[in-house]
Amino acid sequence: MSYSEDTFKKIIAHAKEYGFIFQSSEIYDGLSAVYDYGQNGVELKNNIKKYWWDAMVRLNENIVGIDSAIFMHPTIWKASGHVGAFNDPLIDNKDSKKRYRADVLIEDAREKINQKIQKEVEKAKKRFGDTFDEAQFRDTNPRVLEKQAEIDKITARYKTAMENGDLAELRQIIIDNEVVCPISGSKNWTDVRQFNLMFSTQLGSVSEDADTIYLRPETAQGIFVNYLNVQRTGRMKIPFGIAQIGKAFRNEIVARQFIFRMREFEQMEMQFFIRPGEEQTWFEKWRSARLSWHKALGLGDEFYRLHDHDKLAHYASAATDIEFNFPFGFKELEGIHARSDFDLSQHQQFSGKKIQYFDPELNESYVPYVIETSIGLDRMFLALLSKAYTEEKVTDEEGDTRVVLNIPPALAPVKAAILPLIKKDGLPEKAREIMDNLKFDFNCQYEEKDSIGKRYRRHDAIGTPFCITVDHQTLEDNMVTIRRRDTMQQNRVAITELRSILEAETSMRKLFEKL
């Protein structure tokens, strides 16, 4: 389940070469931590959105969607706490002049120790073979225990420092754990300072009248401020949810991990409104529902890990991250948060409007509590791409290796490539006929350039699950060769069967049925 050393670099290069992701403004030397999605990237991204949206809105009768504006009244960000407290603790290395998030440096230091433990476990696993009891080993091996104690100590100090906003202590943890700057290799650190992550701009054309407004740093507030609108017009009864997909902007201090941390990104968030007192039950329900959504993709259960927050936001009563094993280690992919009635109460107070729900069963009114699920679309994209990227040894006329993206077929950008074996003898016409029939239901690509082997490889590289080849015999028997991406197996099927084969193997239904 691990990646090879330079996999991440290769994935980034592959994403560019095959039209998935480009650096923004590349011909002007790029804009840092901003990316554009190319012709294949946008298809994959749209498919991820659909998988999320339909799982939320279509499969749950009590969840509806909205699409709120990016610009919102500036007071919203005061009410939400973002103006006052949406800060990251930043620290600079005096030698490299590079800026880091102090909390991330500490988390990385902790993860490094964790990886050492993991290595001990792997070694022992090899040594003891089938009789190996991992839990017992972790509980008793002195080296592992010592390292675990180090982790626990960092965690305890970190938690207290974050809770107290103790910036000097954050710095001290970095010093005590001898964290070095990866660029300069030095331990020459500045003090830790707070940095607000919101981008601001001016509304209105006349500067004197101009009002500072913010680019939203999360989509959630657009849901909260529309709570009453949706509840009333949709006649929603608690419990119910509102889902939204949209852009969010954060002036991230450190943004060096490709699309993992961007300054402009997309979120898929769902706020689930519940009765006070039912938080724990719904929190657990959503945590498990979200994990199932991930696991249904079949990337491998061992790629996910649940991580409870050390430091809860001031409004939260529980928070868990679903972490994914990215090429640079386990990192947050999605957050599930119990937000209490914090947001709605704040908006009630700041707007002066009553935001309450009359519960006919209880015969009383209350401000609903909220469970939030929040996932970064771009991070989900990176998770899929990282896991899908595979270099394989094969032997055929195209050489002895191939790069294949094992993207779950339902999410693959192109479902089928339609390929006439050669560019004449009526084969292109026949292939076009097939294309013209399939294109209404599936994203297909017609390609006639280059040898068939080269075309297969190109489609392996973008993750196309099926290649359909039209040859001379097709003109006689209306059969085509269908080649599968993962096994490279080929067999002949009737043209009339193609639709049902593609439907059975590339539709999202199969994923939804697992939820």
The helix/strand/coil state of 134 is helix
Contact 77, 221 (CB under 8 A): yes
- Number of Cβ within 10 Å of residue 256's Cβ equals 12
What 8-state DSSP symbol labels residue 311? S
Nearer to ligand ATP, 310 or 448 (CB): 310
Nearer to ligand ATP among residue 375 and residue 470 (C-beta) = 375
Q: Give the nearest distance from C-beta 12 to ligand ATP in angstroms.
A: 15
For 95, phi then psi, to 5°, come to: -85, -45
Q: Which of residues 94 and 247 has its CB atom nearest to ligand ATP in the complex? A: 247
Closer residue to ligand ATP, CB minimum distance, 265 or 456: 265
For 209, the enclosing helix (H) or strand (E) is: none
Give the nearest distance from C-beta 51 to ligand ATP in angstroms: 15
Minimum distance from residue 383 beta carbon to ligand ATP (Å): 9
> Which residue of this chain has its Cβ atom nearest to ligand ATP in the complex?
376
Say if residues 354 and 348 touch (Cβ distance below 8 Å): yes
Distances (CA, A) of 290 to 66, 119, 234, 314, 316: 20, 30, 25, 24, 19
DSSP 368: P
- Beta strand spans in 55-103 (E): 63-66, 87-92, 99-101
* Residues 72 and 216: beta-carbon distance below 8 Å: yes
Residue closer to ligand ATP by CB (options 332, 343) is: 332
43 versus 334: smaller Cβ distance to ligand ATP: 334
Q: Shortest approach of ligand ATP to residue 75 CB, angstroms?
A: 21
96: Cβ contacts below 8 Å, ≥ 6 apart: 181, 183, 184, 186
Binding site for ligand ATP (CB under 6 A): 250, 252, 261-262, 265, 267, 332-335, 374-376, 378-379
Nearer to ligand ATP, 184 or 251 (CB): 251
Q: Smallest gap, in angstroms, from Cβ of residue 70 to ligand ATP?
A: 15
Q: How far is the CB of 202 from ligand ATP (least distance, A)?
A: 24
Q: Tell me how far, at minimum, the Cβ of 315 lies from ligand ATP, in Å.
A: 13
Two tokens at 161?
A: 């420092």
CB within 8 Å of 454: residues ≥ 6 apart: 398
